[in-house]
């Protein structure tokens, strides 16, 4: 059974050398049920709304199975929220999703897969800068980006909620179709 391991929101803003001067990538699990609205997790923020957030990128999901791959590759923990994700999942191959796929999370929330995450230099700096040279290309090459999600129907979710694929448009492109390094 697929379910949420964690629902994450920004823990704190960090200084960053990018154009905004700060990053909101430091996400941590929330301990209580949380409201999901059109722009994602209530209490979450994005420092750069040009490239993150908005209606088509309201939520970012990442699979525990993919995090475990990175733990082996990097030799370090990748706890829920560490990649900036709002939803840490298990039991669902998020990278096998199709664009337009609809997931029900818990009893009420519905989300739609919109696009894969595109790793950026802020993500590379968060991963350790000089010690992770080539991080963006490495992340692309692993083909484990996780999807951005649009909120179709809001509501409340929490860790442990079931995830059910309610609609899979077989004619739609797969999440990884055309996913190539810049």
Domains of the chain: 3-32+40-97+116-149 (2.40.33.20)
Strands, DSSP E only, in 83-136?
87-90, 102-105, 109-116
pLDDT in tens, 10-59: 988 777 676 667 777 889 999 999 999 999 999 887 656 666 678 999 99
Q: Give the predicted TM-score (pTM) of the model.
A: 0.93
DSSP conformational letter for 159? T
- How do 163-167 and 40-41 pair as beta strands? unpaired
Of residues 179 and 40, which shows the higher confidence score?
Answer: 40
**pLDDT at position 96, please?**
97
How would DSSP label each residue in 36-48? EETTEETT---S-
pLDDT in tens, 53-82: 789 999 999 999 999 999 999 999 999 999
pLDDT in tens, 95-131: 999 999 999 999 999 999 999 998 988 899 899 865 6
Q: What is the token pair recorded at 113?
A: 């897969």
CA triple 53-54-56, angle to 5 deg: 100
**pLDDT at position 43, please?**
86
**pLDDT at position 44, please?**
81
């Amino acid at each position: 059974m697929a379910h949420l391991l964690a629902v994450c929101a920004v823990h704190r803003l960090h200084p960053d050398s990018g154009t905004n001067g700060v990053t909101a990538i430091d996400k941590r699990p929330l301990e209580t049920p949380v409201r999901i609205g059109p722009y994602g997790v209530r209490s979450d923020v994005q420092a750069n709304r040009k490239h993150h957030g908005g209606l088509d990128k309201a939520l970012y999901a990442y699979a525990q199975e993919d995090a475990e791959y990175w733990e082996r590759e990097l030799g370090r923990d990748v706890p829920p929220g560490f990649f900036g994700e709002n939803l840490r999942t298990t039991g669902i191959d998020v990278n096998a999703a199709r664009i337009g796929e609809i997931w029900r999370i818990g009893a009420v929330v519905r989300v739609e897969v919109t696009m894969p995450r595109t790793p950026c230099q802020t993500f590379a700096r968060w991963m350790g800068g000089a010690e992770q040279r080539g991080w963006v290309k490495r992340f692309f090459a692993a083909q484990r980006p996780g999807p951005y999600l649009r909120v179709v129907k809001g509501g409340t979710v929490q860790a442990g909620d079931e995830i059910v694929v309610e609609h899979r448009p077989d004619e739609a492109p797969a999440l990884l179709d055309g996913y190539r390094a810049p």
